[in-house]
Amino acid sequence: MRSLRFAVIIASTVLFFVLFMPLPCFAADYQRTYWVLDHPDGSNRYQLTVSVTSALYDYYRNLEHNAPPYYITLDEFAQYVTPYALKPIANSLWSIYDDEEDFANGVLMIVHQIPYEASAPQKYPVETIVENVGDCDLFSFIAASIMMAGGLDVVLLYYEAQIHMNVGVNLPNEPRDARSSISYYNYNSKPYYVAETTGGNWEDGWRVGESSDQLQGASAGIITLEGAEQVSPGQVSSSLNALTSSSITLTLSSTLIIEGTTVTISGSVSPVHPGNVVTIYVKSDDSSWTLLKTVLIDSYGRYSCVWSPSFENTYYIRSSWSGDADHAGADSNTQTLRIIPQSLILIVIVSIALVCTAVILVFALKRMTAQPESPVVSQ
């Protein structure tokens, strides 16, 4: 009997932790590795590891995309350039290179390693990195994003007659490593040297300033990047070393609240990274994942915020940490929050009041109609 009681206690404890304790989720769902050289003709190889959280991938995948039969103007291409999201890659590359031309050629080495596959509609760089396939415009979006994040002055070059896209990059000096006549386009009195993003030979592929015979002298539309994304909910993590895993938890102060009230969303990140940002995402049954809030991690690795849902609904909430140069990012477990409409609470209160009133009336009526007992006469 004592053993049975002990087993029940253990089982109850395990069940409590499974149901009520926050579950940490570990490293990112997607990692890609790319080779880069310290110089186009260099002998030192570096392996760059890029990590993308599932939450960040879902965020970009759920954004509006231009697709046939919808027409996309040249200016709209700029929205697919996301320098903030890819800035950690630029930071990693700048630890190798010491001039802008080598940096730009290093970026081209990365995109030359992504398999070519015709794609429609356009996609954001994070999507292309995760899905690991793309075509000229998708590769150009990645290259322009990293170059722009690294401080380079870049534009997109669109060749309408050839149905092709690549990147134009302005450099302080004419490219010295080009192996052919140098191709460039003038814009605002500055030369933008052609950076071809297609091609599967990363070690000996296109370099800045080089161009295919088909594009020599071809007319190109210049797409400036004022319309590029300025900020995103998160970033990829990037390192020239192996990325260590991390974890993040999420809890709700209540999983059931009344419409018009608030819920506290909290959790922790491990290892502790004070001052870093946690991104909280939310979706409902009839919507996709969207950004809810970004909050700072405190000195104990914790984060917290208060949210007041606008509508009665069922919501799904998760948080994400992007990682850093040493750690892969991580996504939390997903929590479900259900909102009870105020009208339902009012109906319940009124119903209870009516039931209580009815019970009181029934008892009162019974007492009024009850027959008095006959008195007992003693003999």
| pLDDT tens digits along 223-276 | 999 999 999 999 999 999 999 999 999 999 999 999 889 999 999 999 999 999
At residue 74, the pLDDT reads 87
At residue 376, the pLDDT reads 52
**Over 70: is that where the pLDDT of 179 sits?**
yes
At residue 351, the pLDDT reads 67
Residues with Cβ < 8 Å from 339, sequence gap 6 or more?
A: 257, 258, 259, 309, 311, 312, 313, 314, 315
What mean pLDDT is predicted for residues 212-230? 95
**Over 70: is that where the pLDDT of 184 sits?**
yes
Residue ranges, comma separated, of all CATH 3.10.620 domains in the chain are 30-237
Question: For 30-237, which CATH class?
Answer: alpha beta
Residues with Cβ < 8 Å from 374, sequence gap 6 or more?
A: none
Select the more confidently predicted residue: 151 or 286.
151
Tell me the residue ranges of DSSP E strands in the chain.
Answer: 25-26, 30-37, 45-52, 153-159, 164-170, 184-187, 190-195, 221-223, 237-239, 247-248, 251-252, 256-258, 263-270, 277-284, 290-296, 302-307, 314-323, 328-331, 335-340
At residue 148, the pLDDT reads 98
pLDDT of 356-379, one tens digit each? 676 777 777 777 776 555 555 444
Least confident of 203-207, 284-288, 341-345: 341-345
At residue 78, the pLDDT reads 96
Residue ranges, comma separated, of all CATH 2.60.40.10 domains in the chain are 244-362
What mean pLDDT is predicted for residues 5-23? 40
Q: If one looks up domain 244-362 in CATH, what number appears? A: 2.60.40.10
At residue 122, the pLDDT reads 92
**Over 60: is that where the pLDDT of 143 sits?**
yes
**Over 60: is that where the pLDDT of 24 sits?**
no
At residue 28, the pLDDT reads 45
Percent pLDDT > 90 in the chain is: 74
**Over 60: is that where the pLDDT of 27 sits?**
no
What mean pLDDT is predicted for residues 50-58? 97
Is the CB of residue 130 less than 8 Å from the CB of residue 118? no
CA distance 289 to 334: 12
**Over 90: is that where the pLDDT of 156 sits?**
yes
**Over 80: is that where the pLDDT of 180 sits?**
yes
**Over 60: is that where the pLDDT of 32 sits?**
yes
pLDDT of 283-316, one tens digit each? 998 888 999 999 999 999 999 999 999 887 899 9
